[in-house]
Chains A and B, each alone.
Chain A
């Protein structure tokens, strides 16, 4: 299995060289960058995806099915034209789409992402950020389900952002994690100098009281995040698995979605499905287009669960 990442960055959609006949799969437009990102495709070429946390369903436009059947649901789109709008897509939708496209035989996936100029804080000058609403917590995502109670899961990776309660809640509710080798990854360098401290400082208590191994990768580089995950995967024993909890920067989420899709027998996802707040960020900074190519070579059999039933 060979996965390559190519990226183009710029100050607007025009800099990303997006295909003119693209089909944009996007999520909810919550802030300025989300609205702008969605406008990069004409209205009749945009389709909204939604993951139903209560019943693990996936909705595309008005069509709804179990997310187990995401590949069927998305098979109406030509994967060569599909662009995933990761600024607005939640992580669960992003994974479902990536996994479904790869299951449909896609060998490359285009994803766009727009960095914010600023994230919204919880009051002027506050230390904490107002990014998510309270949620019902960690819920499995079909096609990347993992049983943490099993000893076969021997390692885990958390990508961390600005909300320490998300890690705390995972450690509280899934106390069996304490017996595994767990890496916590901070986005360094961050989107902007200084933002890395906003991620590290609130997590210090958890780092002190749990056996967690800190690691770093660039916040806006999915390839670096993917390599970081690969380093953990390489340490796994025979027949062992790992989990990935992408509760940090979206580019790390992109890497996690690809990673869980290409290694379905070794990787599961742990995700808490936050309801992202409206106006969670302001302004726009860099625009990115990530093109991920997957060359299965002779190993395609290893990824059989992704095949359409």
Chain B
């Protein structure tokens, strides 16, 4: 099967054209959005990679009135979407420069009006070219927009002429913004009134009489405050036929308007959290699988496959929610991405000479350190279960467990699957022990395989999931094993590659990009060091909580946490059991499991590290020596040689 890999590399919505008709897969929460029938604004939030931009492109007029769409219902005119992603560096230049904010505020409102009015006219042209009934090119030519001249003296009345006129005005406006001291500002139309007048003119045509314009402003959180306030005012006074909505990575934080009012979720907008809706649908795994399999069909040239037909059509959403359908989709993915049970991995590991030797050496060292008279061979007897053997190095290093007792339990477990190995030791320690066993031997621990694992590591994030899958295809192709099912080793290598790519991307995450990357590096290394400590008394630590210290978190630290949450580097979790049982652990922060393969640590949410405010400060803002001192203190059970290998030695 030939796959066009470049199609699969497009994991970002912006890499698709504005018209995504036929490329958008209806998400399971689609009916809950109710955007086309909305009577007031919405505030759509969703983390990076959740499918937010693709969704908005679907609702944008380029797609809704796509030429590729064979039939368009007449009520489509009651939701003409305009998706506007602001250029934040341009908008931030509308500040300072010898002009007061209140003057800029008027300019920004006009700029917004100019942009949306131009887009509206483009939308009308697109509608005329589409299959929308009752409005064609002749109707477009016949349309007259007399109101524009009320605001701009020389404005023509024809749609195409007015579009050109407004585009020219926008060019003059941009030139003025660039040279505010050398030129006069061109006369600009007011924002809301101008758009409403154009809409009223357009509604004079019978086919457009129900026209309602829905503007979705993306990245609204990155605008300067006065601009937010201008747009908040638009949002507050939104009603058909002009409704302004926002999309953002985070929940609303600045609710002021340019007047004395403020906006709130009860009266002025409906909050739509896409990540939450996906969780609520309980169909995230199926949806992710559908997107992957659908894209695979597109990349293979099967653009009209039954699978694509099902996921593209809103009318077939209910069918996709039946257990039989979901079972079939998931079974397909499990076949392509098989996993290996923990016990099988343990057996497999002991069959490999370097890993077996590693276990042997660590058991031997532990027995020596404990001054035990027992030998390694006493433990590695015929028929000893592999899953127990893998946990032995850590158990034998624990002061509280006598080697004789461990051996007795091992024999009991080997004989009739009873005792502490059966009840808790294997369950609690095997996963961490396997990770640690494979850690020194490269990047292919079999635990990072299987469809369910991919879902866990992607942490409800579609883009991360797709990157994991596409990396698998890439590695499989390189190893000349291009067809599914993909071997466990291929998947594990791909998981590392995907994790590494996403880790490197952190640098690009806004103003704290590099500090966030450094923080993840430090935190991941500490979790890895804790995993490497010989007794591994707390296996699978990949969360932390801040529950002690001589002060509260300061503003800079809180800002940093907010930014880490915003970019999905940390995942806020309800509190897990506190080790000390004291202090108020308000919240736990899990390192996003997508970074687990890069650090060779666990992606499962299990145990947490309790740190103080001061320790957190060092993690985020401390210099290299301070960090190493902290890491060495937290992983104090590490030998100097191990600490050196893990880069924690001062």
Contacts and interface: CB of A to CB of B under 8 A. Distances in A.
B171 A55 contact: no
A145 B96 contact: no
A137 B17 CA distance: 26
Interface stretch (A89-97, A203-211, A248-256): A203-211
Interface string A127-140: 00000001111111
Contacts of B511: 134-137
Interface string A173-217: 111101100000000000000000000000001001111000000
A150 B175 CA distance: 13
Given A165-B513, A169-B507, A169-B508, A138 B174 contact: no
A137 B513 CA distance: 10
Nearest to B517: A165
B580 interface: no
Contacts of A146: 90, 174, 178
A137 B175 CA distance: 23
Contacts of B92: 139-140
B305 interface: no
Nearest to A205: B501
A305 B183 contact: yes
Interface residues of B, number: 46
Contact of B181 (A66, A150, A265): A66
Does more than half of chain A's interface fall in helix, strand or loop, or is it mixed?
loop
A126 to B, nearest CB: 13
A150 B167 CA distance: 9
Interface string A46-60: 000000000111000
A66 B513 CA distance: 28
A101 interface: no
Interface string B1-29: 00000000100111101100000000000
Contact of A264 (B9, B17, B179): B179
B168 A239 contact: yes
B85 interface: yes
Interface string A105-148: 00000000000000000000000000000111111101111111
A308 interface: yes
A270 interface: yes
Given A134-B515, A169-B507, A309-B182, A149 B86 contact: yes
Nearest to A55: B96
Contact of B17 (A136, A147, A179, A208): A179
Does more than half of chain B's interface fall in helix, strand or loop, or is it mixed?
helix
A131 to B, nearest CB: 12
A87 B290 CA distance: 54
B96 A66 contact: yes
Interface residues of A, number: 51
B193 interface: no
A178 B85 CA distance: 13
A211 B6 CA distance: 10
A307 interface: yes
Nearest to A272: B89
Contacts of A265: 175
A152 interface: yes
Interface of A: 55-57, 66, 68-69, 134-140, 142-150, 152, 165, 168-169, 171-176, 178-179, 205, 208-211, 239, 241, 264-265, 268, 270, 304-309
The 7 closest A-B pairs by CB, nearest first: A140-B93, A175-B14, A145-B178, A165-B507, A68-B181, A134-B514, A305-B179
20 contacts: A56-B96, A69-B181, A134-B512, A134-B514, A139-B93, A140-B90, A140-B92, A142-B97, A142-B180, A143-B182, A145-B177, A147-B174, A150-B87, A165-B507, A172-B508, A174-B87, A175-B53, A176-B87, A270-B89, A305-B183
Given A146-B90, A168-B505, A239-B167, 11 more contacts: A140-B92, A142-B97, A142-B178, A145-B93, A145-B177, A152-B167, A165-B513, A175-B12, A179-B17, A205-B501, A307-B182
